[in-house]
Amino acid sequence: MTKWLYCSVAALLMAACASAALELTELPNGYVSDWAGKSAFAVNLGGGQYVYGRVEFAVYDAASAADAGLAVPGDRQYLYAYQVFNTDGNAAMTYFALTGLNPAAIDSADQIGTAPNPGSGIDAEAYFDTNRTKAIFTFEDGMMVVGQSSVFLLLGSDAKPIVGGYEVVPSSQDNIWIPGEDTNQTPVPEPATMLLLLTGTAMSLRKRK
């Protein structure tokens, strides 16, 4: 089975480096400046099965999360919120996972959860893998069909964001904000650095047979 993932670099670059122009679909405003974005994906599952969609994400401090009506899992300093959309194709999505987490940023199993969104989002079971290097959200009934979106998928952490990755059905792609190693680091790249990072990632993506 052939699996590949195409990421919209231009959309992500705009989100990461110029979030003032960003309009998230359902995630509330009030996120920390520049810590929000969108990432598009297109997955060929083989056998004529395709999934197209996007991930929207934003990071809030505890106060702004409370103002937005969102509880921070684990009562942490930052709320990491994600929403997944299955927009086109002919296949359902079974899960969404954040990859590359540093265990130092996730020291408790209660730092993950979900919250209702204004629409009729598909709920998910939320849990970490054994090493807490991956946050997994398995969609209700094992699928999210075309035209549906998820509820808000949440992480709580005391760590500032770093650029990480995600998986869908089950292809993977980097470049999404995830909790970093500790609160003392300065992980957010300058715009020129982000441009080089995203350009290099785009060039590395290729179809695998």
For residue 189, the model assigns a pLDDT of 52
Q: Which of 38, 14, 178, 30 is nearest to 98 (CA)?
A: 178
> Among 24-28, 185-189, 191-195, where is mean pLDDT lowest?
191-195
Q: Does any domain span residue 43?
A: yes
Compare 128 and 18 and report the one with higher pLDDT.
Answer: 128
Give ∠ CA 168-170-175 in degrees, rounded to 5: 50
Per residue in 47-75, pLDDT (tens digit) is: 899 999 999 999 999 999 999 999 999 99
Indicate whether 139 pLDDT > 60. yes
Indicate whether 185 pLDDT > 80. no
Q: Does any domain span residue 124?
A: yes
> Among 38-47, 79-88, 175-184, where is mean pLDDT lowest?
175-184
With H, G, I as helix, E, B as strand and everything else as coil, classify residue 87: strand
For residue 108, the model assigns a pLDDT of 93
Q: Does any domain span residue 2?
A: no
The residues that bridge with 20 in the sheet, in sequence order, are none
Confidence of residue 22 (pLDDT cuts 50, 70, 90): confident
Task: Supply the range of the domain harboring residue 106.
Answer: 9-204
Q: Does any domain span residue 209?
A: no
Indicate whether 196 pLDDT > 50. no
Confidence of residue 39 (pLDDT cuts 50, 70, 90): very high
Indicate whether 195 pLDDT > 70. no
> Is the whole model's pTM more than 0.85, yes or no?
no
With H, G, I as helix, E, B as strand and everything else as coil, classify residue 193: helix
Q: Does any domain span residue 179?
A: yes
> Among 21-30, 83-92, 151-160, where is mean pLDDT lowest?
21-30
For residue 76, the model assigns a pLDDT of 97
Q: What is the mean pLDDT of the chain?
A: 82
Q: Name the domain count of the chain.
A: 1
For residue 181, the model assigns a pLDDT of 73
How is the beta sheet containing 171-179 ordered, strand by strand? 124-128, 134-139, 95-99, 161-168, 171-179
Q: Does any domain span residue 4?
A: no
Compare 90 and 190 and report the one with higher pLDDT.
Answer: 90
What span, in angstroms and rounded, lies between the C-alpha atoms of 114 and 65? 13
Q: Does any domain span residue 17?
A: yes
Indicate whether 106 pLDDT > 90. yes
Gyration radius of the chain over CA positions:
16
Q: Does any domain span residue 180?
A: yes
